[in-house]
Amino acid sequence: MPRLVSHPDEVKIVSRRFGKGAANIDRYIELGGYESAKKCLEKGPDWIIDEMKASGLRGRGGAGFPTGMKWSFVPKQSPKPKYVLVNGDESEPGTCKDHLIFLHDPHAVIEGTLIAGLAIGAKIGFIYLRGEYRYLLDIMEKAVADAYSKGFLGKKIFGSKTEFQIITQTGAGAYEVGEESALMESLEGKRGVPRIKPPFPAVVGLYGGPTVINNAETIASVPHVIEMGAAAYAAVGSPRNGGTRLFGLSGHVERPGVYELPMGYNLKKMIYEVGGGVCGGRTLKAVVPGGSSTPVLLPEEIENLGMDFDQVGKAGSMLGSGGVVVIDDQTCIVEFALRTISFYQHESCGWCIPCREGTDWLKKSLTRFHAGFGEAKDIDNIQYLAENMLGRTFCPLGDAAAMPTLAFVKKFRKEFEDHLNGKPCPFARHVEMAVV
Amino acid sequence: MSPKDTNTETMTLFSPQLAARFDALVKKYPVKRSALVPMLLYAQDEVGYLSDAVIAEVAGRIGILELEVRNVATYYSMLRFKPAGKFNIQVCTNISCMLRGAYDLYERFQSELGIGPENITPDGLFSLEEVECIGACCWAPAIQVNYDFHDELKPELVPGILDGYRGQAQAEGKAIHA
């Protein structure tokens, strides 16, 4: 069972009900649950979308797109049915926040989905969980069944004339399916390969109907935005970055865990105060700020870095999924880069050639390099390959593989050079045999 | 092709519970084919892997070609086409787990079980694989045994975990490999 942690600096909004038995519907109602949905049903779509816009809530999956704006793109009139799709295919390395939401607060996901449905005029919502989260799917399915039996879902929700159905869905192991268009393909029973955009899902999405796709954390934040009021929610975060975020501290940190902190919270403080510093009092070497696809940051870059979409973007990285991976000075960056690219090589769906071939060649080069068979020109080659993947694929997986690789090479070039000429890796513990 | 109803042939392949679940599943979605991925996973949970018979049966139930089913099934990393052990041990070695000793853990599993990656123990009880991020990064290193998570592990905890599953198999009192 995942351990819950807490820290005085936390502002518990999304995690407010964690560890309080809220998976039980009666307990959820006792804690104020489903009041937001009732209020939204009364106020209507325009009010909901205005609230979401004013709250400054931005997509928690990684791209940080303003949620209210996304919802407003869905056409009011549509000949095809509209859908809400909740992305719980959480698989970005370093990220485990949705895991806790499904475990401790499944009804918040249901309520958020319902509100999104009311906002865009959809009658069906899908909640898609990755295949590995089977025990969480069981919890979600139970919660959905309970919501139906209370009359919160179904043909006449809360005794009104409005209909809303929720269908839960399991994946079967694919990182790529976390990309919104690939997610729709998977839900349609196909290989999870991305679709070209435009058209965007808000116009042509699932089964060809207008579709809103939101990350599970975004959806779980929605009832809280309504409950607190948009202004109060926005006030918690930093400018243009409303509210809080579930940050997952992992890697070489004394107290790893998922902490809910206001947007814009200082990264250095997050590691040293909230997380208790680097393991065993060792020195910080680097930080991956938002899941494995975000470019690595050096200790000097995090001094005054506030963790919101804009500030981390300005620092040359991304807030991503909020998975902060702490790396100490005993870690080989080449090995770390290799492990990262191995993941993307494994998960590339093979649809676009720059990604399929690029990740494979990067993995081969880095494997050879780490085993001590690299050559000086390989460093430039790695950089050249990665640069040529950027922006040349249907979906962002190609970029997600290239961006961190580029950062590793640029920021730790000396460490790459130290591996040259058969020099053993100073930290080598697990050197794979290179196919030279 | 039209979807088959529950018949005797199906009953021998899938349990009545699973057959009933499939009947409900194809009705659940606006488009029947949306049931494909869950169906394959649930069938695998019961049968152990996606045999030719399972693929044919699923294709018939959804009303698509076997080739289309294979085309989709080969995409998803959790779906497999040969048997695994009764308890499939999946060790995450992705970055967060790696930094906290996942490879030591993986090696310990290999030495305790006496098998390498993607292999099955002779008694059919365990199989072992290295997997990508399983979403337990803050509680690393973590593994999954079938669908059970075990987190904050250390190599010395490995024998205890294995004994737990051996006990579970014994309690079930089933022959592992007929």
Q: Domain check: are A225 and A256 in the same one?
A: no
Residues 390-409 in A contacting B (C-alpha not used; CB under 8 Å): none
Query: Do B135 and A135 count as a contact with CB atoms less than 8 A apart?
Result: no
Q: Domain check: are A275 and A361 in the same one?
A: no
Residues 173-202 in A contacting B (C-alpha not used; CB under 8 Å): 173-175, 186-192
Q: For chain A, what percent of residues have pLDDT higher than 70?
A: 97
For residue B67, what are its two tokens? Answer: 């080739």
Distance CA A236, CA B25 (A): 43
Q: Is A8 a member of any domain?
A: no
Please tell me if residue A282 touches chain B, with a CB cutoff of 8 Å.
no
Q: Domain check: are A265 and A340 in the same one?
A: no
Q: Is A302 a member of any domain?
A: yes
Q: Would you say A46 and A71 are in contact if contact means Cβ atoms under 8 Å apart?
A: no
Among candidates A174, A207, A257 on the partner chain, residue whose Cβ is nearest the Cβ of B76: A174
User: Three-class SS of residue B87?
Assistant: strand
- The whole-number pLDDT of residue A424 equals 63
Q: Would you say A140 and A168 are in contact if contact means Cβ atoms under 8 Å apart?
A: yes
Q: Domain check: are A264 and A292 in the same one?
A: yes
Query: Do A248 and B137 count as a contact with CB atoms less than 8 A apart?
Result: yes
pLDDT in tens, A314-345: 999 999 999 999 999 999 999 999 999 999 99
β-sheet bridge partners, residue A288: A325
Q: Domain check: are A198 and A306 in the same one?
A: no
Q: Would you say A36 and A223 are in contact if contact means Cβ atoms under 8 Å apart?
A: yes
Question: How many structural domains does chain A have?
Answer: 3
A164 φ/ψ angles, rounded to the nearest 5 degrees: -155, 125
Alpha-helix residue ranges (DSSP H) falling in A204-307 = 216-228, 230-236, 267-269
Which CATH number belongs to the domain containing residue A352 in this structure? 1.20.1440.230
Q: Is A118 a member of any domain?
A: yes
β-sheet bridge partners, residue B92: B131
Q: Is A10 a member of any domain?
A: no
Instruction: With cut-offs at 50, 70 and 90, classify the pLDDT of residue A297.
Output: very high
β-sheet bridge partners, residue A66: A58
Distance CA A396, CA A390 (A): 9
Q: Domain check: are A56 and A190 in the same one?
A: yes
Q: Is A68 a member of any domain?
A: yes
What's the rounded mean pLDDT across residues A237-260? 96
Domain that holds residue A272: 244-328
Q: Domain check: are A122 and A144 in the same one?
A: yes
Last residue of a domain, one of A236, A270, A291: A236
Last residue of a domain, one of A236, A253, A271: A236
What's the rounded mean pLDDT across residues A158-184? 97
Distance CA A223, CA A230 (A): 11
Q: Domain check: are A61 and A202 in the same one?
A: yes
**Nearest of A91, A179, A107, A25 to residue A99 by alpha carbon:** A91
Q: Domain check: are A339 and A320 in the same one?
A: no
β-sheet bridge partners, residue A260: A246
User: Which residues have CB under 8 Å from A242's CB, separation 6+?
Assistant: A55, A56, A57, A58, A225, A230, A233, A234, A236, A263
Q: Domain check: are A69 and A216 in the same one?
A: yes
Among candidates B100, B133, B136 on the partner chain, residue whose Cβ is nearest the Cβ of A2: B136
**Which conformational region is residue B120 in: left (phi greater than 0), alpha (psi within -120 to 50 degrees), or beta?**
beta
Q: Is A423 a member of any domain?
A: no
Among candidates A167, A256, A340 on the partner chain, residue whose Cβ is nearest the Cβ of B28: A167
Query: What does the angle CA B97 – CA B156 – CA A341 come to, to the nearest 5 degrees?
Result: 20
- The whole-number pLDDT of residue A257 equals 97
Q: What is the pLDDT along chain B (178 residues), one digit of tens a residue?
A: 444 444 445 557 899 999 999 999 999 999 999 999 999 999 999 999 999 999 999 999 999 999 999 999 999 999 999 999 999 999 999 999 999 999 999 999 999 999 999 999 999 999 999 999 999 999 999 999 999 999 999 999 999 999 999 999 999 875 545 4
Q: Would you say B65 and B100 are in contact if contact means Cβ atoms under 8 Å apart?
A: no
Q: Is A400 a member of any domain?
A: yes
User: Which residues have CB under 8 Å from A343's CB, separation 6+?
Assistant: A93, A175, A292, B94, B95, B132, B133
User: Three-class SS of residue B47?
Assistant: helix
Q: Domain check: are A260 and A296 in the same one?
A: yes
For residue A413, what are its two tokens? Answer: 């070039």
Instruction: With cut-offs at 50, 70 and 90, classify the pLDDT of residue A431.
Output: low
Task: Collect all residues of chain A within an 8 Å Cβ-Cβ radius of residue B93.
Answer: 339
Last residue of a domain, one of A216, A236, A256: A236
Which CATH number belongs to the domain containing residue A74 in this structure? 3.40.50.11540
Q: Can you say how many angstroms the Cα of residue A230 is from the centroid of all Cα atoms in its chain?
A: 23
pLDDT in tens, A117-127: 999 999 999 99
pLDDT in tens, A130-167: 999 999 999 999 999 999 999 999 999 999 999 999 99
Instruction: With cut-offs at 50, 70 and 90, classify the pLDDT of residue A432.
Output: low
- The whole-number pLDDT of residue B2 equals 45
Q: Domain check: are A322 and A344 in the same one?
A: no
pLDDT in tens, A66-110: 999 999 999 999 999 999 999 999 999 999 999 999 999 999 999
Q: Is A387 a member of any domain?
A: yes
Q: How many helices (H) and strands (E) does chain A have?
A: 17, 10
Please tell me if residue A256 touches chain B, with a CB cutoff of 8 Å.
yes
Q: Would you say A177 and A183 are in contact if contact means Cβ atoms under 8 Å apart?
A: yes
Distance CA B124, CA B127 (A): 8
Model ipTM? 0.95
> What is the separation, in whole angstroms, between the first and last Cα of chain B?
34
- The whole-number pLDDT of residue A419 equals 87
